[in-house]
Every structure is written in structure tokens, then in C-alpha cells.
Amino acid sequence: MSRVASFFAAVLITVASVPLVATGTAGAAGLDLTCTPPSSASLLFDPPATNSPQNMTLTVSRQYGPCVSATHPDITSGRSTATGATTGATCLSLLGANALTITITWNTGQTSVLSGNNVSSLSGVTLTVVTTGTVTSGVFAGATFVHTIVYPSTNILLCNLGLGSLSGLYGQVVLEIITP
């Protein structure tokens, strides 16, 4: 995978093009934390992405909440942001798989560092990014996680067809942290 595609996938984080539904409740079968919509993510492209390679700055912001945790009931929300520059990026750079690290700052001031691999796929006008891995430090260290973002946008398809540009994506997030 190209460096550009890896960067896009790393900045994106984000299962199917169906409504997101949590698969359980906190505390059930090792599920320790669940954050569900209206948890959200935004991904902004400057300048807007096209199907022609160009340099751009990417900014991703994620808001988690409501969150419910069996072992840390004081954690009810969190946030994560990242900005980076890339060269030769196109709309198709959104697709692929790569390694990813996400640092979440919780409403308590504590942090969790999630390290794993993500896979981005396009189905019609919906980009889905699923990241799985391990919490490597901070709160929930040693647990595994599934982080899913679904970005619906007709501009994704139009951009890939060369019929428009893509200035940003807005989607819903589901985060599940599973303790061993």
C-alpha cells in the first residue's frame, strides 16, 4: 500500500453500511466500555480531495459519548484529534488497510492509547473504517478494542468517479473495549 493510502487510512479511523448498533452492554462477556452514537467523527481535507493526486492537510476529530464502563463508571465521554499533511493523495487513497494508533483523552483527564490495524472499505456512498487492536497504555491497558466509523456521503462516490471533490466526511462512531 502506498504511503499516501496508509496515511489516509491512519487518519481515518473508522462496519457495514447499516445503522450502527452496539453488540452488547458494558460488563457483559468481558465488554468493559461501550461508546455509541451520537459519538461522532469528522475528517476534513484542505484543499478538498479529488481524483487527481495533490498535497493536502487532513484533520480528524472524534467525540465519544455516551460511554458506559463497568470498571470505570466515571468515564462517560472522550475525544481524540489528529492533523497531518500528505502528498499525492486522491479520493481513492481513503481505501485500504494499515497500522494505526489513536490516543483518547477521557472526561476524567485520563488517556488510553489504542494501537491496531484498520480496514477501510467503500459500499455505494458509505465509507466504513474498522480498527481492531489492543489498548497499549493508560486506562484499559491490555484490553482489546473494536473502533468503527461509518461515513455516509454521496460526495465519496462522485469524487472517485471524477465528478466532484470531497472537503470533509462526518460519521458515527461505535467503540467497544473488551477486557481479558
* Rg (the chain; Cα; Å): 16
Distance CA 104, CA 114 (A): 8
Model pLDDT, residue 130: 97
Model pLDDT, residue 98: 85
Query: pLDDT tens digit string along 79-135?
Result: 999 998 889 999 888 888 888 899 999 999 999 999 999 999 999 889 999 999 999
Across-strand partners of 180?
Answer: none
Q: Is the pLDDT of residue 25 over 50?
A: no
Model pLDDT, residue 93: 85
Q: Are 19 and 51 in contact (CB under 8 A)?
A: no
Q: Is the pLDDT of residue 63 over 50?
A: yes
Q: Is the pLDDT of residue 167 over 70?
A: yes
Q: How far apart are the first and last CA of the chain?
A: 32
Q: Which three cell numbers stand for residue 76?
A: 462517560
Model pLDDT, residue 60: 93
The mean pLDDT of the chain is 85
Model pLDDT, residue 92: 86
Q: Is the pLDDT of residue 26 over 50?
A: no
Question: How many domains in the chain?
Answer: 1
The domain of 93 spans: 3-178
Its pTM stands at: 0.82
The more confidently predicted of residues 2 and 139 is 139
Q: Is the pLDDT of residue 158 over 70?
A: yes
Across-strand partners of 129?
Answer: 120, 149
Q: Is the pLDDT of residue 139 over 90?
A: yes
